[in-house]
């Protein structure tokens, strides 16, 4: 595989930091550019990030001396020097939309962690193990944008990363109804306990916009491609509650599911153990060897013990049993800023490179 020069836009934020950590030592991608807002531009990354590096791993040495560029004012220069960008900015929806389309029109593909284009029919929202075929709509998007190389591909919301993968191998049983309660870590808000002390010994039963995303986005992921665009699936019916809990990283979901043809407990476990997708078949660098891990222990998965499974790219599942109201229920867990954000974005880029879209 050829080497690609890449940039990280929004490099000073929580997800931007995670992109840098995920790309450290990557066999395909060399980070050449870090960009952020105008107030950070012109200074070395280490100087800007003094006291602001929030990850448990050390900042990679190669990143320390990179001089930050202005994500907006330097867009033309950035686009000319990289093969594609990872984007995780904190801007208004309109500003984000304009910025990402600007890079795409500059013939620079955008791997976005932002939400503004997630429901656009010709923008693929890819969980690589589940819907890699959605990349086909990139050709339609390029025609709309008037580009030959540039396009936008997006990550789905971090809240759906634990339960959608667990439900996906069971779809042929006719999944009709899903109830999910998510218990989401504070890093999903870009916070730590140091910056958000109010979350210590606290639970907040509301996360703005999460429930709407958690109910709508799976239907796009499970949708089909027709006439060059993605048509959302009409089922299952999904209802969610999203709750902020005092965990640093890791989103957990309590899932209840109903089927037209109820699978047995053993059949479900068998499906989970056997499931793999294109990333595993292609042996992509960031792909977990086993995407779905089932724990037989009654007290697993646990956030602190299991969020980093397979470099934080696997999904942990446990407590599968029959339910009195639905058919089955279980608990699942994923790392929200790795699999659910930066790591998933890197895996998506690997997939699109392997398939020839970049």
Q: Cβ(327)–Cβ(236) under 8 Å?
A: no
158 in catalytic set: yes
Angle at 101 between CA 96 and CA 105, to 5 degrees: 155
Long-range contacts of 222-226 (CB under 8 A, 24+ apart): 222/130, 222/131, 222/164, 222/168, 222/171, 223/131, 223/134, 225/133, 225/134, 225/136, 225/137
Residue from 251, 293, 335, 353 carrying the catalytic annotation: 251
d(CA 249, CA 245): 10
d(CA 180, CA 198): 26
173 in catalytic set: no
Burial 122-153 (b: 16+ CB within 10 A, else e): bbbbbbbbbbbebbebbebbbeebebeebbbb
Q: Cβ(315)–Cβ(344) under 8 Å?
A: no
Q: Collapsing DSSP states into helix, strand and coil, what is residue 290?
A: coil
How many angstroms separate the most distant Cα atoms in the chain?
A: 60
240 forms beta bridges with: 180
Residue from 22, 87, 158, 353 carrying the catalytic annotation: 158
Annotated catalytic sites, by residue? 158, 251
């Amino acid at each position: 595989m050829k080497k690609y020069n890449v940039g990280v836009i929004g490099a000073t934020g929580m997800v931007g930091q995670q992109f840098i950590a995920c790309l450290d030592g990557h066999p395909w991608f060399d980070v050449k550019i870090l960009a952020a807002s105008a107030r950070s531009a012109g200074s070395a990354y280490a100087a800007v990030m003094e006291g602001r590096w929030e990850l448990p791993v050390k900042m990679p040495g190669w990143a320390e001396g990179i001089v930050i560029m202005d994500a907006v004012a330097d867009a033309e220069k950035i686009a000319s020097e990289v093969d594609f960008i990872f984007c995780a900015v904190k801007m208004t929806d309109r500003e984000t939309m304009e910025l990402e389309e600007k890079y795409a029109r500059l013939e620079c593909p955008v791997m976005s962690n932002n939400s503004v284009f997630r429901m656009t029919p010709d923008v693929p929202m890819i969980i690589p193990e589940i819907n890699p075929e959605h990349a086909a709509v990139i050709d339609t998007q390029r025609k709309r944008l008037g580009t030959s190389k540039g396009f936008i591909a997006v990550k789905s919301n971090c809240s759906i990363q634990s339960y959608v993968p667990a439900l996906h191998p069971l779809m042929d049983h006719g999944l009709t109804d899903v109830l999910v309660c998510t218990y989401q870590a504070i890093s999903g808000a870009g916070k730590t306990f140091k910056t958000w002390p109010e979350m210590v010994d606290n639970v907040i039963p509301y996360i703005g916009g999460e429930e709407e995303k958690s109910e709508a986005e799976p239907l796009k992921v499970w949708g089909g491609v027709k006439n060059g665009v993605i048509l959302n699936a009409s089922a299952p019916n999904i209802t969610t509650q999203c709750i902020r809990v005092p965990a640093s990283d890791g989103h957990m979901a309590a899932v209840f599911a109903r089927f037209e043809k109820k699978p047995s407990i053993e059949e479900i476990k068998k499906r989970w153990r056997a499931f793999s997708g294109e990333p595993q078949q292609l042996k992509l660098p960031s792909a977990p060897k086993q995407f779905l891990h089932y724990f037989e222990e009654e007290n697993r998965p646990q956030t602190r013990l299991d969020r980093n499974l397979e470099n934080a790219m696997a999904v942990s599942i446990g407590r599968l049993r029959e339910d009195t109201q639905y058919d089955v229920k279980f608990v699942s867990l994923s790392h929200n800023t790795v699999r659910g954000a930066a790591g998933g974005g890197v895996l998506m880029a690997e997939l699109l490179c392997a398939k020839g879209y970049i």
